[in-house]
Each structure stands twice: as structure tokens, then as C-alpha cells.
Structure 1
Amino acid sequence: MDILLVILQAVVVLGAIVMGVRTGGVGLGLWGVAGTLVLVFVFHLAPGSPPVDAFFIVIAVITAASAMQAAGGIDYLVSIASKIIQASPSRLTYVAPLVSFVFTALAGTSNIYFALIPVIYETAYRNGQRPERSLAASTVTSALGITASPVSAAMAAYLVLMTPLEFSLVDILIITIPASIAACIVTSIVQQRLGRELLDDEVFLARVEAGTVEMPQVLAAQQAARADAVASGMSQGKAARHARKSAATGAERAERIHIEVPPGGAAAAWIFIAAVLIIVTFGLFSGLRPAFPTGENGQLVPVGMSVLIQMFMFTAALVIILVRKVPPGKIVEQPLLKAGFVAAVALFGIAWMADTFIKANQETIIDPLGDLVTSYPILLAVALFLVCGLTTSQSATTNTIVPIAIAAGMTPGVITAMWPSLVGVWLFPANGSQIAAVETDLTGSTKLTTVPVWHSFTIPMLVSWVTVVAVGMLIQLFVH
């Protein structure tokens, strides 16, 4: 009978997640709360702990980010990113993924990547490169920035879970940042070798023939050089290599994209970045934080990082408003605020439901699952990867799966090494970044297929996943 009840409760949890994904937007969080209601009133489970700290961290960060966006700070960051991306077009597949990762980590949201998609595409297209290589790799690595960001929604959820284990923000970043950078590099190396050159791609050539897309000047020069080389008796392979080499100089001189930055955008961006750096500094040196007596013995305990993140992010928003004279009403109109609110509600609902279910079934289901994960740690990475792919929410997945690993007694270092498996968010083509990349690429090289899990992002996603977990596991062996 107990097993049957647990199965029914699990059906409620999974059903709420599935319905939330189908509903979309805040629906994921609202279905999570509805699932909690069913667990409490129908199955009489004690309500779990709602993730209040994580919720307000997300709200604080997204408020500061929205103030920065309203003041032109996002435009400033994108302009810097575009200059870096366009500085060396021949190395685009290596540079763009790293830039996408870094800027997502700084901003705490992958929404900033949307603005980089046309820059990456145009740089690749104008220089005669296959856009799929840089676009797919950059899309995937932008998700790695979420688990390497001190101010992302997923980090807010994860930090709240790790704090009782005395595993700090710095302990987390020491693992996730270098592991993610290694994954960016390996992914770029593999991605650079995938797909045909555009002049050998039938889909691209058909689109040129149909007038859907124009042949860029660089490729037109390559095509002419290849024809001349073949006419002179050179083999097709040698002719192609000769054409690419002869057109390389022209590619480097291709017209660059310029992004306008509103006055004061730089100041707003640096205020936000300064707040992020201050948060990291306080995380690195706990002695700098104010300490207050806690508990019966009156021992001095530093202020928690969750509280500090909220204070500094809200204060950063205020400073941006005052320095740049941003009307407060303009902040609530920003797309980032809407996206952040959706993430906060999704985090709140799913985390509350998961905590209610997990606490009530510790002995019946969580302990056996914990034993399995402890015996085969790689299963944690697989669970994180698959659940994130199904829910398309890094923060919700964090609050659903990580508590199981913690309850199983897995060490924080190992859990953290596995945590970037949230890159599985790209498993299905259900994300705005994937769809935007496909729609932006007029050459047709970046594509989806009739098989939901096989698309332009599949290989870079798998390469990133394997690399980030493997490197993370190595790092945690030495630092923890």
C-alpha cells in the first residue's frame, strides 16, 4: 500500500512538471504549486520548505539586470562582445563560444546571448564560414555560463542547497568555471571539424539559387578562384584549398557590424559588474562579511551569501537608477524582468513541490535512489541532464535532483562536478536560443530534424557535457 501511494505521489509530481512544460512560461511554477496542493490535501504530506531565499535572489538579480538593460548596459556588453567576436573572424568558432559563456556568466542570464546570435551569424556569413559551427557551439556553451555565474537563478537555488553543507560560492565556482572553460575549448575544436564548407553544401547552394540568401563576396571570390584552378588542371580538392587560401585576406576585411550604445550604458554595465565582483569577493573572504551572534553560545557567524547577494543586487539597481536617472517605471517594462519573473515563479513552484515529495518519502524512495546514485555517481549526471532536457529549467532541475544526491550523502564536490550537466537543457529543440539560431541562419546550415533529439546542437551539447563533468571531477579531487 505504501509503495502504491508513493507511486501515485510521483505521478502527481511528474504530471505537474509535464503539464507545466506544456503550459510554458509561469505555468511551470504554477503547476508546481498545484502539485504541492494535491500532495498536501489529497495525500496529507507535510508541506516542504518553499525556496524563499532562492526566489528573492532571482528577483534581486533580475531587478539589477533590468535596471542595467533600461540604462543601455546590456547594449554596452553586447557591443564589447561583438567587437571581440569580429576581431578575428578566422577563429570565430573558438572565440564566439567563449564570449557567449563569459557574458552569460557575468549577466547571470542566457538572455544576453539572444543579442549575440545575429552578430555571430553575420560574422560567419560575411566571412564565408559555415554559421552552424559557431552558432551551435555558442548556443550550447552559453548554458555553461549559468552554472559558472554567481548571480544566475540556478546558482541561487544551488547555493541555498549547498550552504548547510558549508560549501560556499567560491567552492562551487572553483570547480564550475575552469571545467566550463575546458568544455568550451573542446567543444570548439570538435565543432570546427563538423559539417561541409558552404560552397560544398547543397542546401546553401539551393537557397542561393532560389534567391533566399545571397552569395557573400568572400564565397563568390572562392568560387571564382576554384573554377580558375580547376580550369588550369588542378584537382577539385586542391582547387578548393587554393580558393579558401586566396580568399582568406578578403574575409578578414569583411564589413563589421556596429552596435549603438546609449549614453551611460557603460556606466550602468560597470555598476552591475562591480556588484557581481563585490559578491564574489565576500564569498572568497568570509572574514570581510559582518558577523553576528547566533545560537545559544552566541558564536559570531558571518552574514550568509544569500542575504548579501540580495542586498548588493537591489542596491546596484538603485545606484543605476540614481546615476543614470532611469525612470523606475521603465525597469518593469524590460524583457529581462519578465523573463526573470518567469524563472523565479518556476523555481518557487517546482522546488516547493519537490521538497514536499522528497521529505515525505525519505526512507521509501529517496534512500534507495541515493544508494544507487552513490554506487554509480555518473547516474546523477545522467539524471540532471535528462530532467533538465525535459523541464528546460536549470533552476527547477537543481531543486528536483540535487536534494536527492545530498540526502544520499554524496560529497558537495562530486555533486558540483556533476551539476553542469544542466547543459542537457538543449536536449530538445524547445528553447528560444535554439529556435532563434536556426531562424537567423539563412544559409540553412543550423537546423532541426524530424528526430527531436538530433539537431545541430546535439553533438556540441554531448561534447560539452562529457568534458565539463570529466574536468570537474578531476578538479574536485584536488581542491576538495
Structure 2
Amino acid sequence: MDIFLFITQLLVVLGCIVMGTRSSGVGLGLWGGTGVAILVFVFGLAPGAPPVDALLIVLSVVLASSMMQAAGGIDWMVSIAAKVISKNPKQITLIAPLTAFLFSVGAGTSNILYPLLPVIYDLSYRNGIRPSRPLSLSVVATGVALACSPVSAAMAAMIALTDTAPWNFELMDIIKVTLPAAIVGIFLASLFVRRLGKDIADDPEIQAKIASGKLVAPGATATAVKAEVTVTKEGRWAAIIFLLGVLAIVVFGLFSGLRPLGAGDDPQPIGMTPIIEIIMFVAGTLIMLVAKPKVAEIPTMTVFRAGMVSAIALFGLAWLTNTFLGEHSKLVAEGIGGLVDTAPWIFALGVFLVCVLTTSQSTATNSIVPIGLAAGIPLGLMSGMWAGAFAGIYLLPTNGSQIAAANFDESGSTKLGTKLVDHSFFLPTLILAVATIAVGSLFGVLWGG
């Protein structure tokens, strides 16, 4: 009977996730909350704890990053990234993905990639490099970046789950595994991606466009395309303040002795959750005072809107999984734990598949990581696999940045395909996921804890 109830309730959880995926956006959160209602009122389960810590981190980060965007900070970061990419165009298949990755880590969002796409296309094509190579890997690299960013919604969800007793696995414990794993993964993936597709000289479609005059031959363009952004002094200061806030979070994560002490007879340094929230509020306030963005425009910023949607989805789905696992944690630990011990990659596959279905790293984190914790997967190993699996959001050609990359590629080398698996991002997604999961698992076992 217990197994029957477990399976029935699990189907409710999975059904709500599937329905939320079909609705997308805030629908994920609504279906998560509806799942909680079914588990509580129909099956009599006690409501799980809402993900308050994760929500507060997301809200504080979204507020600060939206202030930065309103002041022009993201535009300034884009201009710097474009200059970095243009320094070594012959190695653009590696430089562009690494640059997109690092700036996404700093900003906590992959939206920074959009203005860079025409620059990546232009520099690659003018230097005789098939544009689909750097474009596809740059898009996918921004996915794993959110597992390395101290200020992403996915990291907020991960910290809220792991930076508590009995795990006490903090921000820097995660990043010291995910960041090097992702960088090595991007490097390894670039070695494969630079061989994908025909060279421009051997591609009959591109050559036909050149012959018909629809496309200028590589190297014949007179001026390079620039990122379409407006750079201002206020934007520069806003970005610097925000990035200093990110740096401060990293420093406090590395050196716990710098944190204020909590209360009690044996006071310990306070956790990173309130530290992140405090620093982001201070950063947002400083941006408001120094860069003077129009505060009334903050709710209209794309970062703000995307962040609020993430927060709602996080609220509903995390509450749903907490309610389910709170009732069945022992069964999960004994049943799934043995399965994961035999084949740990099953955890990575779970995160990857949820990313594919929801195109949301924070949703995958809140859906699968609690199961991994209940199953007893070592935290370092889990972090390494978690980062690589984030590439899964680009397995299907449905993401906005994939569509934008294909549209900016005038040569037509970047394709969205017609059969779900014949698009330009499919192999780069699998290659980067496998490479990062493998390297991340190794780093996690070596020094992750």
C-alpha cells in the first residue's frame, strides 16, 4: 500500500511538472502550487517548507541586476565582451564561448549574449570560419554559466538546498567545482565543435549565396559589425558596482572569518544566504545613488520580468517537491539511493531531462537536487554533474537565444532544423554536457566534499 501511494503521489508530482512545462512561465509555479494542494487535501500530506531562502536571494539579485540594466550596465558589459572577442578572431570558436560564459557568470543571466550574436557572426564569417561553430557553442556555454554564477536564480536554489544542516555545503564549495569544470568543458567542446559542419569554402549553400550576390565573400566586408548597445558613464559605474558586489560575495564565501557572527553561546559566522541578500541590496542602492537609473522603469526591465517568472516557478515547484520528499525521504534514500550509488549518472540525466523539458535551470535544480540529497549523493560529485546537465536547456531548438543566433547568421550555417535533432545546437549541447559532467565529476570527487 505504501508503494502504491508513493507511485500515485509521484505521478501527481510528475504530472504537475509536465502540465507546468506545457504552460511555461508562471504556469510552472501555478501547477506546482496546485500539486501541493492535491498532495495536502487529497492524500493528507503535511505541506512542505516553502523555499523562502531561495526566493529572497532571487528577489534581491533580480532587483540589483535590474537596477544595473536600467542604468545601462549590461550594455557596458556587452561592449567590453565584444572587444575581448574581436582581439583574437581566428580562435573565435573558443574565445567567443568563453567570453559569453564569463560575462554570463558575472551578470547572473544569459541575456547578455543577445547583443553579442551579430558580432560573433561577423567576426567568424569575415575570418573564414563557419559561423555556426562559435555561435552554437556560445549559446550553450551560457547555460552552464548559471551553475557558476554567485548571482543566478539556479545558484540561489542550490544554495538554499545545500547550505543547511546536515550538509552545510556553501557557495564556494559549489563554485570551486562548477567553475573550473565548465571552463575545461568549454575548451574540450570547442575542439570538437570547430570541426562540425563544412568549411565555408566547401559549403555549397553558402557558396551559392556568394555567387548570387546575396552574401559578400569572407574578408570582403570593409567594416566590422559592432554590438548594438549604447555605452554611458552611468552604465559603466552601474556594472562596476554590481560586479564589485559579486566579488564581495565570492570573498565572503572564501573567507568565512570576515562574516559577522551569529547569536548564541558559541557564535558562528552567519551563512551565505543573508550575506548575498545584504550585498545585493547594498549594490542596488549604490547603483541608484551613483548611476541614477529611472527607478519607475525597473519593473519593465527584461531581467526583472525574467527574474519574477523564475521566482514564481521556483516557489511552486520547490514547494511541491519539498512536500513530496518530506513524506517519502526515507523511501527515496533507500530505493533511489541504491540506484544512484550504482549509477550516479542517473542524477545528471534527471537534471538534464528536466532542463530539456522546462528550459529552466532553477526548475531542474528544485525538482532533482532534493532527490539527490535524499539519496545521499556526495555534494561535490553532485555539483559537477549538476553544472554539466544545465546544457540540456538547448537540446531542443526552442530557446530565444537559439532562434536569435540562427536569425543573425546571414550565411545560413546556423540552423534550427525540422526534426528536433537536426539543428546546429544539438551536438554542441551533448558534447558540452558530457564533457562538463565528466570533468565536474572528477573535480567533485577530488576536492568537492
- TM-score, L = length of structure 1: 0.89
Q: Distance in 2 between matches of 1:410 and 1:85?
A: 39
**Partner SS for 2:263:** strand
- Correspondence for 1:472: 440
Contact 1:358–1:366 under 8 Å retained in 2 = no
Q: Which moved more, 1:27-36 or 1:125-134?
A: 125-134
State the alpha-carbon separation in 2 of the partners of residues 31 and 199 from structure 1: 51
Cα offset for 1:63?
A: 0.9
SS in 1 for 2:275: helix
Aligned to 2:245: 275
Corresponding residue number in structure 2 for 1:433: 401
Q: In structure 2, what is the equivalent of residue 376 of structure 1?
A: 343
Return the offset for 1:365.
4.5
Tell me which residue corresponds to 2:83: 83
Instruction: Specify the alignment match of 2:111 in structure 1.
Output: 111
415-424 vs 5-14, greater mean Cα deviation: 5-14
- 1:67-123 deviation digits (Å, cap 9, x = unpaired): 111111001000000011112211111100000110010001111122222221222
2:190 — aligned with what? 188
Identity of aligned residues (%): 47
CA distance in structure 1 between the aligned counterparts of 2:23 and 2:437, rounded to whole angstroms:
32
Q: Which residue of 2 aligns with 1:255?
A: 224
Supply the AA of the counterpart residue of 1:214. Answer: L
Q: Distance in 2 between matches of 1:217 and 1:283?
A: 47
What does 1:39-438 align with in structure 2 at a 5 Å threshold?
A: 39-164=39-164, 165-208=167-210, 213-216=214-217, 218=219, 255-257=224-226, 259-294=229-264, 298-420=265-387, 421-438=389-406
* Distance change >3 Å, CA 36–CA 366, structure 1 → 2: farther
**RMSD of aligned alpha carbons:** 1.8
Query: Aligned residue for 1:243?
Result: none
Q: Distance in 2 between matches of 1:106 and 1:478?
A: 26
* Number of aligned positions between the proteins: 444
SS class of match (1:292): coil
Distance, in Å, in 2 between the alignment partners of 1:365 and 1:42 is 21
Tell me, yes or no, if the aligned pair for 1:74 and 1:112 is still in contact at 8 Å. Answer: yes
Greater Rg over alpha carbons, structure: 1
Secondary structure, aligned partner of 1:361: helix
Tell me whether 140-149 or 191-200 shows the greater mean CA deviation. Answer: 191-200
Q: Which amino acid aligns with 1:302?
A: P
Distance 2:327 2:259 in 1: 36
Show CA shifts across 1:131-179 (max 9, x none): 1000001011111110011111111111111112121211111111111
Report how far residue 210 of structure 1 moved. 6.3
Q: Is the 8 A contact 2:354 2:363 kept in 1?
A: no
SS of corresponding position for 1:414: helix
Change (3 A) 1:217 1:365: closer
CA contact (8 A) 1:104 1:145 kept: yes
Aligned to 1:230: none
1:455 aligned partner: 423
